[in-house]
Amino acid sequence: MEDKRVNIIAAISVVTLIIIIIIARILLKLSKAFFLICGAGVAVILAVFGFVFLSLIYKRRRRILESQLKSEGQEIRIEYSFLRKVAGVPTKFRYNELEEATDGFQSLIGRGSSASVFKGILNDGTSVAVKRIDAEERGAREFKSEVAAIANVHHVNLVRLFGYCNSSSAPRYLVYDYVSNGSLDCWIFPKRDSQRRPRPGGCLSWNLRYKVAIDVAKGLAYLHHDCRSRILHLDIKPENILLDETFRALVSDFGLAKLTGKDESQAVSTIRGTRGYMAPEWLLEKGISDKTDVYSYGMVLLEIVGGRKNVCLVEDEKDKSKRKWQYFPKIVNEKVKQGKIMEIVDHRLMECGGVDEREVIKLVYVALWCVQEKPRLRPSMARVVDMLEGRVRVDEPPGTRMILVDFLSVDDDNVTDSNNLPRLDTMSSQGTQSNVECNSTYSFATTVFSGR
């Protein structure tokens, strides 16, 4: 607009000068004054034409330069986007983008007590899993710092964080790579008739189960020992272990649980865990550590071997019309003492064959080491990896009565489904009935747990 105004002024100036020269010629004829006016007018006209010519050249060069800069800027943005993707830097999505990718959050593929997971497809065709965090337990700044911490974690056995959406208010969103074969629970537990959504699943072979056990151990060992800030998962269970197209195990839902420094041995947490996988020291409010994850991992190992939940409802042998709670780790402990360890293996695997008894013994021994009631007796996850891969000898674990975990893991009034155990917040002032039971037996349980 400004250039157009300059051109109009230049044209008016030239026309005005020409008119002045013509009038001077008529009035002054060929006098000396006329030639002075004519010379001055021609000089000004030439100056105006020169100015316009130079302006045109300048504007042309400026357009060329702007075009080059714009092209280079686009290339830089494309390259930056590519490098972000290669380096695993999470992308900040807008809510509208995630809503469009998930078709209005219609494709639900999983649900927890505080989050829901939806399948989505981004504009570039990338399949993602969008986790909607319904419960707001973190501020915006804390959420961003924890997302940054997760973004710096890269391991083949950890689910990669693709991006996030940090809205001004809850819910917030995390975007992960979509894992095609779903979660481990669909592959080691028999399917329930009540499941409405079609989910991938089946009976995982023994060789793949052993491989999954090693993969999960490696992922946890990386979080505990090889990260700049030690990351405690605090919710290890089959539902949080995903299997890709080659049945490689990927640990999910890590990082937003608890970040601790390398020099911190214990921490106090208000994170909600899942009953049946929570270590005794957590239930007794004695603080959490990396050994808390070790305990949960041991419980998952037993479920991998047995193909059943650690806490489940079974028919009462005396009265078939009634059902009673059964604690699988205690059964495993008794079978080990009796030398009948193969009786605990998933019966579907025994029917198909191909189960290596030596590997079964190794997995069960490692699991029993991991679920020791005293944290100091549990191995680190790095040592667990060495045990499973044969670099360290696996000795028979010491016997444990499992009185505490057997007593606190089940609440008949609150638990109605063995395959959907609720989560509880053991640090909340508004506790559930099991919390009340836990507090009422605190002195007895502490004696059992910490007796030396």
Is the four-CA dihedral 438, 439, 440, 445 of positive or negative sign?
positive
Q: Where are the domains of the chain?
A: 1-51, 91-178, 180-450
- Is the distance from CB of 236 to CB of 298 less than 8 angstroms? no
Question: What are 324's strand-pairing partners?
Answer: 314
> Residue ranges for the binding site?
131
Query: Which residues make Cβ contacts (< 8 Å) with residue 137, sequence separation at least 6?
Result: 114
- Write out the chain's pLDDT in tens, 452 residues: 566 777 788 788 878 888 888 887 777 777 778 778 788 888 888 888 888 888 888 888 888 888 887 777 666 655 555 555 555 577 888 888 899 999 999 888 888 767 789 999 988 888 999 988 876 655 666 677 667 777 778 899 999 888 888 876 668 888 988 998 999 999 999 876 555 555 677 899 999 999 999 999 999 999 999 887 788 888 899 999 999 999 999 998 875 555 555 555 555 455 557 878 888 888 787 788 899 999 999 999 999 999 999 888 777 777 767 777 788 898 999 999 999 999 999 999 998 888 999 999 999 999 999 999 899 999 999 999 999 999 999 999 987 767 655 554 544 444 444 344 444 333 333 333 333 333 333 333 433 344 43
- Is the distance from CB of 278 to CB of 308 less than 8 angstroms? no
- Is the distance from CB of 242 to CB of 157 less than 8 angstroms? no
> Residue ranges for the binding site for ATP?
131
Each residue's pLDDT tens digit, 207-249: 999 999 999 999 999 999 988 778 888 889 999 999 999 999 9
Phi then psi for residue 311, to 5 deg, are: -120, 120
> What token pair was written down for 272?
């909600």
Each residue's pLDDT tens digit, 273-305: 787 888 888 878 778 889 999 999 999 999 999
Distance (Å) of CA 20 to CA 10, 26, 31, 46, 50: 15, 10, 15, 15, 20
In the annotation, is 134 catalytic? no
Question: What are 314's strand-pairing partners?
Answer: 324
As its CATH architecture, domain 180-450 has Orthogonal Bundle (1.10)
Which of the following CATH numbers is that of domain 91-178: 3.90.1150.10, 3.30.200.20, 2.40.400.10, 3.30.450.20? 3.30.200.20
Each residue's pLDDT tens digit, 332-376: 999 999 999 999 999 999 988 889 999 999 999 999 999 998 999
Per-residue DSSP letter, 402? -
The secondary structure of 416-452, three-state, reads: CCCCCCCEECCCCCCCCHHHHHHHHCHHHHHHHHHCC
Catalytic residue among 185, 215, 235, 290: 235
Question: Would you call 131 helix, strand, or coil by DSSP?
Answer: strand
